[in-house]
Amino acid sequence: MSAVTDKLRRIRYKQSGLCIDCGKPSFGRFVRCVACLYKYNLRQYRYSKNHPDRIALKTKNDRVKRIEEGRCVRCGRPLWDVEGRYCIACLTMNHQPKFKGIFYETITTS
């Protein structure tokens, strides 16, 4: 099977809510089923273990790119203020479930 038809097949599966790897019903909002998600995560994990230098380089590149584009260096969302390096969510720790919404509402509604 060529790479092109493989890609098309994945797109078709994704659109019909099927696992892009094996064609079984996908899990929740993911594009893979549970079994393939597990395998995929394992693969990613192994890769990051075997290539720590590449992951570090990618993280560094992402950071540089985000600073250049004026986005949050932590998550890539738009910046809260032009001078800063973080978005409102990162600044207010809105990513942390226990703080979620509290600071955000305080700032945006004042």
Tell me how far the alpha carbon of residue 35 is from its chain's centroid: 20
Report if residue 72 touches Zn ion, rule: CB under 5 A.
yes
Closest distance to Zn ion from the beta carbon of 27 (Å): 9
Residue type, 40: Y
Contact 42, 34 (CB under 8 A): no
Question: What number of chain residues touch Zn ion (CB under 5 A)?
Answer: 11
Report if residue 91 touches Zn ion, rule: CB under 5 A.
no
Only one of the segments 3-11, 41-49, 56-64, 73-81 lies at the binding site for Zn ion (rule: CB under 5 A); that segment is 73-81
Report if residue 67 touches Zn ion, rule: CB under 5 A.
no
Distances (CA, A) of 21 to 2, 25, 89: 15, 11, 34
Among 11, 22, 56, 57, binds Zn ion (CB under 5 A): 22
Torsion-angle region of residue 39: left (phi > 0), alpha (psi -120 to 50) or beta?
Answer: alpha
Query: Judged by CB, which is closer to Zn ion: 57, or 75?
Result: 75
Tell me how far the alpha carbon of residue 103 is from its chain's centroid: 23
Report if residue 19 touches Zn ion, rule: CB under 5 A.
yes
Binding residues (CB under 5 A) for Zn ion: these are: 19, 21-22, 33, 36, 72, 74-75, 77, 87, 90
